[in-house]
């Protein structure tokens, strides 16, 4: 499966939202706040946790301190979970998700100096901090989202402060309200 799949989804009663961004930009925090604030039930799926818990990888890379993800296994595991909607997918990448799955892509951005500090607090190895910081500066995740999905469903949001995170969640909640109206959901 790839993100250029043209099949249309069945009518869903809730959207599928992807929250993505460089590690440390606040994806999991934003997803958790969104699930709490949403006017419709949403399930938060941290894809990285899913990879670890269900063995959806080909081993562990000691140099990068991360799993070597098996994209096909991830997609096979997620497909039945996203079929009816009502899901927030939280992951540092988004291009593997088929376009037909996704209603909204939120790309969180963070000032690179603040991002560096956040990753240091996580005890990331220096090489990993440098790589992620460079990816943020070069807007790698944003570019991937824009290449993978229609422009109108990709939204870039700053996520430097708690206030910005709360504002982002309020904005996404408003988007959900509009999605419900547009899709005639009760």
The pLDDT assigned to 13 comes to: 84
- pLDDT tens digits for 125-169? 999 999 999 999 999 999 999 999 999 999 999 999 999 999 999
Domain extents in the chain: 16-52+79-179
Report the chain (186 residues): mean pLDDT per 10 consecutive residues. Answer: 45 92 96 96 96 94 86 96 96 95 97 96 93 96 97 97 96 96 76
- 59 among the known binding-site residues? no
- 29 among the known binding-site residues? yes
The pLDDT assigned to 111 comes to: 96
The pLDDT assigned to 3 comes to: 41
- 122 among the known binding-site residues? yes
Contact 67, 60 (CB under 8 A): yes
DSSP string of 6-23?
Answer: -PPPPP-SS-EEEEEEST
- Which tokens is 180 given? 């419900």
Give the integer Cα–Cα distance in Å for 47 and 123: 21
The pLDDT assigned to 12 comes to: 83
- 26 among the known binding-site residues? yes
The pLDDT assigned to 185 comes to: 62
The pLDDT assigned to 80 comes to: 95
The pLDDT assigned to 186 comes to: 56
Name the CATH superfamily, with its identifier, for domain 16-52+79-179.
P-loop containing nucleotide triphosphate hydrolases (3.40.50.300)
- 38 among the known binding-site residues? no
Of 137, 172, 178, the C-alpha closest to 38 is 172
- 85 among the known binding-site residues? no
Q: Read off the pTM.
A: 0.91
């Amino acid at each position: 499966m790839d993100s250029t799949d043209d099949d249309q989804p069945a009518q869903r009663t809730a959207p599928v939202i992807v929250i993505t961004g460089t590690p440390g930009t606040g994806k999991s925090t934003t997803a958790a706040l969104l699930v709490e604030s949403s006017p419709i039930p949403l399930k938060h799926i941290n894809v990285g946790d899913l990879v670890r818990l269900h063995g959806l990888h080909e081993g562990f890379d000691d140099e990068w301190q991360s799993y070597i993800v098996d994209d096909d296994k991830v997609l096979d595991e997620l497909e039945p979970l996203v079929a009816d909607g009502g899901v927030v997918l939280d992951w540092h990448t988004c291009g593997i998700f088929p376009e037909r799955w996704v209603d909204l892509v939120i790309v969180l951005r963070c000032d690179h100096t603040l991002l560096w500090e956040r990753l240091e607090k996580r005890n990331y190895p220096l090489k990993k901090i440098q790589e992620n910081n460079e990816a943020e500066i070069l807007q790698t995740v944003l570019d991937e989202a824009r290449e993978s999905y229609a422009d109108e469903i990709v939204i870039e949001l700053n996520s430097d402060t708690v206030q910005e995170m709360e504002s982002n969640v309020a904005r996404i909640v408003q988007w959900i309200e509009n999605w419900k109206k547009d899709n005639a959901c009760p």
